[in-house]
A and B are shown apart, each in its own frame.
Chain A
């Protein structure tokens, strides 16, 4: 302790800190995708939305000097990409998975193209709230520096859970996702519901991207996302389309991402590739244990193209 090191305590602390720092993009993308998929459509393009969100947030924050405007811009960019996805998917005989893949490539490509001049400058970052003020240990203080976006995500999960169950628009989204015929019979436009759900999903994914570039790791470069958007989309299936489970799954993935580096830092050096792969092994294991050839996944919206 005297030399400022906290020894093996690094590992649980790093996993906690990682869960807080790394999970936020997962959380926003998975909550957004949860809304979209509950309405009966899959948007695989959220990886592109995440990267576009990160780029536009960084650019706007750099130009205006206000990171919060950057967050807003990221959300709007995401919503526009969501509208594009929904618009194309509303045409007859269009497969939403294929459109999603196309938009994923489009989003990342456009972000790399527009983001070229943004790699060098340093933009103002989002502030952090210091929840570790009570501790004298600098490591604890560092782990508990929490960004407001994480807290918003934390609050959003139970709100969505509640909204899906009890509110009118929650019911509408679920109806569109479970049986578009029923929604149509009630006199609602399924396309309009899905358009809105995809736009909200894109908005949240864009905000997730702004966290990447404006808070942690906290700068714009082309390897920034390294597949986190895709992981988050898969996470929704893993979380059985339940916003609360999305929260836990995001925290688990965030913590797992910190596990590999933390174990190496305390001297557990063998098999670090295995530890780095921990979240994916966990996902595979759960998928294998819970899947069945006899029925569709529990909780899957019936209108999804993968379950239909």
Chain B
């Protein structure tokens, strides 16, 4: 083994690290503009989850004095810690948005402890009192939007059979499936939702097969909860079925077949966060909201949506926006095995932590969680 070369290389590495460290130490004195770092687990133009966040980041770019740095396809491993370190030390980021679920613990927590003066905002995590105070988690009750999409789907479907292409049976996904179905049954009490789980967040061939199988079963309106809805939307539209989108607006992919969709509204939330920081207020560490808080929204109605459907959907949306709010998961709720999951008389409002543990499919859903 050539020791001379190895020690020389180590020396060089150490030297570089020292220089970087010195630069980082000097930097805050010059920080005139605020730099915000966004980290995505996938591609930021995937017509899905990551694109929704990237649209939020794009809204921040328009605000003068803000600089946005972005990195895509960062795995949920210690790779995200390296990305955060480089955004802090090389780009001078003081506010970070690691947007994927798996970044939270331990990676973002570790970084928040290491850099206590910087702010970390995580999408989807469950912040608790044990976590650092400069970290926070935010998320949206997108099931409210799915509920409204369900109403539209229930009116539009001729067969009364709706389809749902889902990735994994975790609480967030089940909540969407259940809300979509409950919404559809407001419009058509006999409507059913057939669920197919593909097993992972991005499986285009499986998603296409699931879409085809559902349509073969007579399903005529489909929605999904996978990372990139593009495959489902395009394949369903090709077979002549209607679609309801997810994550972002997919109507450019299938203008005639697109009914509406459940979208994130990060482009409204992120500027709000920045304003709170600029005004010296602190962002609540645990930040949640739905339609009323403008964290989620629904896509504009497509041409195939009837006037009756629009009216009913808009009425329910107004209830969500009203001061007293609206509960999707009301008492007397029965799952698809006939078991009562919410006892009569107890309404579970959106903020109810019980809903975050959802492990059932409601009556009207055809499918099983395992």
Q: Do A and B come from one complex?
A: yes
Q: Is the CB of A257 within 8 A of B205?
A: yes
Total A residues in contact with B, Cβ cutoff 8 Å:
43
Q: Mark B135-161, 1 if CB is under 8 A from A, else 0.
A: 000000000000000000000000101
Segment touching A, from B111-119, B181-189, B194-202: B194-202
Check if A222 sits within 8 Å of B42, measured CB to CB: yes
B196 touches A261 (CB 8 A): yes
Among A119, A142, A226, A267, the residue within 8 A (CB) of B204 is: A226
Interface presence of A251 (CB below 8 A)? no
Question: Whole-angstrom distance between the alpha carbons of A10 and B368 in the complex?
Answer: 19
- Among B1-9, B206-214, B308-316, the stretch in contact with A: B206-214
Q: Determine if B46 and A119 form an interchain contact, defined as CB atoms under 8 angstroms apart.
A: yes
Contact of B206 with A221 in the complex, beta carbons under 8 Å: no
Task: Pick the residue among A228, A258, A269, A270 that contacts B213 (CB under 8 A).
Answer: A258
Complex interface bits, B231-257 against A, C-beta within 8 A gives 1, otherwise 0:
100110011000000000000010000
- Known contacts A228-B205, A261-B198, A265-B194; decide if A3 and B235 are in contact (CB<8 Å): no
Question: CA of A260 to CA of B198 in the docked complex: distance in angstroms?
Answer: 8
Is A265 in contact with B197, judged by CB distance below 8 angstroms?
no
Knowing A223-B203, A262-B209, the reply to whether A3 touches B367 (Cβ < 8 A) is: no
B354 within 8 A of A: no
Interfacial chain A residues near B73, Cβ < 8 Å:
112, 222
- Report chain A residues within 8 Å CB of B212: 14, 17, 21, 142, 261
The stretch from B23-31, B74-82, B215-223 touching chain A is B215-223
**Interface digits, A11-26 against B, CB 8 Å rule (1 contact, 0 not)?**
0011001100110000
Task: Verify B235–A217 contact, CB threshold 8 A.
Answer: yes
- In angstroms, Cα B219 to Cα A142, docked, is 14
| Residues of chain A within 8 A of B47, CB atoms compared | 119-120
Using A261-B198, A264-B197 as known contacts, say yes or no to A221 and B228 having CB atoms under 8 A apart.
yes
Across the interface, name the chain B residue whose C-beta is closest to A11.
B213
Q: Are A142 and B216 in contact (CB under 8 A)?
A: yes
Contacts of A218 in B (CB 8 A): 208, 231, 234-235, 238
- Closest Cβ neighbor of A216 among chain B residues: B208
A226 contacts B370, C-beta separation under 8 Å: no
Nearest Cβ distance between residue A222 and chain B, in whole angstroms? 5
A257/B202 in contact, CB under 8 A: no
CB of B45 closer than 8 Å to a CB of A: yes
A112 to B42 CA separation, bound complex (whole angstroms): 11
Q: A10-B216, A112-B73 are in contact. Are A18 and B366 (CB under 8 A)?
A: no
Beta-carbon nearest neighbor of A271 in chain B: B370
Does any Cβ of A come within 8 Å of B317's Cβ? no
Interchain CA distance A142-B43 in the complex, whole Å: 31
Interface residues of B in 335-370 (CB under 8 A from A): 366-368, 370
**Bound CA–CA A222/B45 (angstroms):** 10
Contact indicator A265/B214 (Cβ below 8 Å) = yes
Task: Return the contact of A219 from the options B197, B198, B234 (Cβ within 8 A).
Answer: B234
A245 within 8 A of B: no
Q: How far is the CA of A14 from the CA of B213 in the complex (A)?
A: 7
Interface: A4 (CB within 8 A)? yes
> Is A226 touching B368 in the complex (CB atoms < 8 A)?
no
- Give Cα A270–Cα B368 distance, bound, in whole angstroms: 7
Instruction: Enumerate chain A interface residues (CB-CB to B < 8 A).
Output: 3-6, 10, 13-14, 17-18, 21-22, 112, 116, 119-120, 122, 139, 142-143, 216-219, 221-224, 226, 228, 257-258, 260-262, 264-267, 269-270, 272-273, 276
Task: Known pairs A112-B73, A264-B197; list 4 more (Cβ under 8 Å).
Answer: A112-B43, A262-B209, A264-B210, A265-B210
**Can you name 16 A-B pairs with beta carbons within 8 Å?**
A6-B217, A10-B216, A139-B216, A142-B215, A143-B216, A217-B207, A217-B208, A218-B235, A221-B43, A221-B231, A223-B228, A261-B209, A262-B209, A262-B216, A265-B216, A272-B197
